[in-house]
Structure 1
Amino acid sequence: MTTSALTRVSEQLCFGGKQIRFTHQSAVTNCEMQFSVFLPPHAQTGKVPALYWLSGLTCTDENFSGKAGAQRVAAELGIALIIPDTSPRGEGVPDDPDGAYDFGLGAGFYVNATREPFVKHYQMYDYIVSELPALVEAELPVSAVRAISGHSMGGHGALVIGLRNPERYRSISAFSPICNPVNSPWGIKAFSGYLGDDKSQWVHYDASVLLAKTQKALPILVDQGTADNFYPQQLQTDSLSAAARQSGADVQVRLQQGYDHSYYFIASFIEQHIQFHAKFLVG
């Protein structure tokens, strides 16, 4: 199946629904992008709400699809899963000059880059917020009733995007998110590379800074494993909790004893996260 804008790469039946992978040409990232979609059985008879999932460093759209085990509960609840890639890719798209895993390809950090040579392609914030939903909702049986979630770098992206665009989403959740990237080694490297040295621009992409100042936060659920080797230095969950107390926002931060940073952790709690979102997505 090829629509006016989407090219199907693969399709499999899954829990009575369809797991599909698409490519399309992006005007925002100036390259071909790929993303995956799970359409529940309910999509055969009408439009369904969507949970957008943002993955972490080194991932593509296929990690969550194959490892999280999210399709069963999404099929039961009638929720589509929209799973974008983590960065632009392809010929001419710049990477980390040293080939490191935490910058460049697979590490777009869901920001709009302003520095050369990344500004032409690394516009992942606009891609996730505007271009991808418009495309999905025009071409697929998916409504504009949305929630957003993610893991690690993607948890950072979900929190920031949801906090900055409360009118576009119903709820937010995250696993092991980078909560305070302006003070995290990962965040400092990425923001310096994509945005430059002006730290006044960094705070627009920091969930803890945004949450502390918000007057209209969506319901938020965060799970963090206590055996995560990136907790607390890179992830700085306590900063998000402090910000929630400051703003009085509706934020649940759950420390899960003994869980690490892996997809085993995500698979253990993804059903609870989708059920959390269903309260706001499904009438």
Structure 2
Amino acid sequence: MPRVARVKSNSGIYHIMLRGANKQEIFHDDYDRNIFLNILEKYKIQSDMSIYAWCLMNNHVHLLVKEGSENISVTMKRIGVSYVWHYNWKYHTNGHLFQDRFRSEIVETYPYLLRVTRYIHQNPVKAGIVKRVDDWKWSSCRGYYGKSLVSENLLDQEYILSHFSVNPSVAKERFKEFNEMPDNDSYLEDKDTWRRMTDKEAGLKIKNSLGSIEIAQVKSLPKTERTRVLRKIKEINGLSLRQAARILGVSPSLINRA
């Protein structure tokens, strides 16, 4: 079937999600995350795009952006292709990394804009990774709170803050209060939203998947048998490649190539 054309936002603002194919991890360490943010900043400048919020999770990325001088699809393709090149080079792999095209929704009202911003910042808390939104350094939240960001030139916060007050100090306080309000919002998410499993939970799921094979035996299996086993393990919902590698005692790249 032909692809359905994206709905064009009258405001030029979009909530975008990039997700790993089969929900696989797309970031295995902080170096990967920094590379992605560097690429994002490069094409932000090149396309004159504005970035109002962002959050890097292990297997997906949320962005709240305003289209720049080129179609948002073109900009996102540049970003995706550049990061996939880095990933394939670093982990000696090939093929698809992201799940189909990026997912997007138009943002055309102020209330929706603010709620999406809050939703993006609360992703790590809802996933159980951190207890407070500003504890996660791989999102734009800390910038809104006046704290240092990993990428200082990435965030355009003035537009969002202007909806809270013309006074910068008051705007930041009001934004913080709003940003931490509990909510049950869900945007661009599948019904089986990913959450990080504990190693104990992951170990049990892996053990069940292996059947009669012991976890300690996996790394010593013949290559063909090991590849078959690792492919089966990769299908476990909510299990990250890095976590599986740690439990099995193999490298993330070995699992990714399976």
TM-score w.r.t. structure 1 length?
Answer: 0.27
Larger Rg: 2
Bigger fraction of residues in helix: 2
Higher relative contact order (CA 8 A, sep 6+): 2
